[in-house]
């Protein structure tokens, strides 16, 4: 386990992974917390900047365009929003493809309960949509021969932050331009908490096995977990360091499992381990020290919160609160 500070749904002792578009109103509120210094005291060495989501209000931390992310009201946190059931739940209307945030007679408002602790919020960012266009195309395909860049891009979901320079508050002569940590309050669906369970995605279904990758199934599909992670990017849209995962849908295959899959074309290595289920209806807070990214961002760089890929509309995550801790350079007088 990493040294992330957790609250909410994660359970370190039980081995639960901790706490890693159609644009429709990616808006929200931001606030800055700082300690007021007395006249004889120096300014604080660090401050925090936080953001929540709400329609109709500007968001200082995140860009207004997102990829397959919707801003929706708090749901009931009940049941499994699955397409096969929404003909009944929504009165027969053909709305099963955008059910999150909508009211149903059986479940109430469909989606996660963002009014629960920690950080109760009336709205949240729902990773539940699908579509063809990606406004940024930040993530390169692992292998263009297996899956095209255009198709790989359209399958992910993410929030993109503004540059750190745009997020840092104006504090006069004091520049808080060092990112210390990113804190994300998030949830994964488990089929009973208002969200569908993220699982494993596959590209180019039913393709012949020509990839040669042990992580692929017998038909050669490019496969991987529908995981949730945070990643830093440079101002030139290049990834910095390594991604930090908030949630993995299955354990990564071991070396022995990969060797067995490479030796036997009938083995799908992702079928060996069961899906890990998120344990509760409550959101979890993950604090990621910037050192975990193995890179130091500059003030013109940014970060994303991303679901790797998805197979349909409802492989669902939610994010309701994001906080940055920023510090200033302290010089000896």
The reply to whether omega before 47 is within 30° of 0 (cis) is no
Residue 63 has a pLDDT of: 94
Structure tokens at 259: 């060797």
Residue 90 has a pLDDT of: 46
Residue 211 has a pLDDT of: 74
List, in sequence order, every residue forming a beta bridge with 46; answer none if it has no partner: 327
- The parts of the chain modelled with pLDDT lower than 50 are 1-30, 35, 37-38, 84-96, 333
Cα–Cα distance for residue pair 102/92, rounded to 1 Å: 14
Structure tokens at 318: 């939610």
Residue 31 has a pLDDT of: 53
Residue 91 has a pLDDT of: 47
Cα–Cα distance for residue pair 13/117, rounded to 1 Å: 21
Residue 150 has a pLDDT of: 84
Residue 13 has a pLDDT of: 37
CA distance to 29, 62, 165, 187, 257, per residue, from 229 (Å): 22, 16, 22, 12, 24
Q: What is the DSSP letter of 291?
A: G
Q: pLDDT tens for residues 148-195?
A: 888 888 888 999 999 999 999 887 788 899 999 999 999 999 999 999
Report angle CA 129, 134, 139 to the nearest 5 degrees.
Answer: 105
Cα–Cα distance for residue pair 4/70, rounded to 1 Å: 27
Cα–Cα distance for residue pair 166/161, rounded to 1 Å: 9
Residue 208 has a pLDDT of: 64
Residue 131 has a pLDDT of: 81
Structure tokens at 258: 């990969």
Strands of the sheet containing 157-160, edge to edge, are 157-160, 302-307, 228-233, 239-247
Structure tokens at 202: 């596959």
Within 8 A by CB and 6+ apart from 149, the residues are 137, 140, 141
What's the N-to-C CA distance of the chain in angstroms?
40
Q: With b meaning 16 or more CB within 10 Å and e meaning fewer, what string describes 249-274?
A: bbeebeeebbeebeeeeebbbbeeee
Q: pLDDT tens for residues 278-306?
A: 999 999 999 999 999 999 999 999 999 99
Task: Return the CA Rg of the chain.
Answer: 21
């Amino acid at each position: 386990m990493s040294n992330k500070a957790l609250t909410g749904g994660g359970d370190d002792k039980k081995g639960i992974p901790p706490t890693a578009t159609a644009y429709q109103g990616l808006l929200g509120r931001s606030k800055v917390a700082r300690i007021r210094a007395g006249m004889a005291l120096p300014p604080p060495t660090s401050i925090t900047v936080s953001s929540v989501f709400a329609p109709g209000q500007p968001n200082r931390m995140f860009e207004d365009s997102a990829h397959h992310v919707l801003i929706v009201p708090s749901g009931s946190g009940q049941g499994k929003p699955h397409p096969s059931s929404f003909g009944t739940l929504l009165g027969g209307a053909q709305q099963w493809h955008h059910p999150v945030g909508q009211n149903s007679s059986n479940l109430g408002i469909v989606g996660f309960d963002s009014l629960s602790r920690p950080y109760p919020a009336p709205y949240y960012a729902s990773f539940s949509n699908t579509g063809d266009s990606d406004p940024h195309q930040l993530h390169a395909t692992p292998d263009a021969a297996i899956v095209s860049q255009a198709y790989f891009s359209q399958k992910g979901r993410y929030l993109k932050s503004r540059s750190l320079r745009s997020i840092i508050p104006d504090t006069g002569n004091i520049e808080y331009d060092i990112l210390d940590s990113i804190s994300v309050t998030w949830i994964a669906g488990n089929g009973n908490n208002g969200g569908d369970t993220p699982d494993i995605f596959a590209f180019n279904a039913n393709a012949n096995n020509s990839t040669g990758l042990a992580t692929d199934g017998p038909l050669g599909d490019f496969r991987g977990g529908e995981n949730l992670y945070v990643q830093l990017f440079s101002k030139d849209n290049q990834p910095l360091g390594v991604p930090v995962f908030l949630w993995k849908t299955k354990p990564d295959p071991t070396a022995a499992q990969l060797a067995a899959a490479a030796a036997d074309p009938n083995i799908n290595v992702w079928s060996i381990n069961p899906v890990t289920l998120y344990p509760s209806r409550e959101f979890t807070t993950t604090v990621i020290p910037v050192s975990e990214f193995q890179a130091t961002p500059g003030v013109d760089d940014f970060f994303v919160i991303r679901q790797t890929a998805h197979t349909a509309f409802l492989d669902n995550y939610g994010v309701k609160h994001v906080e940055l801790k920023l510090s200033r350079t302290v010089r000896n007088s």
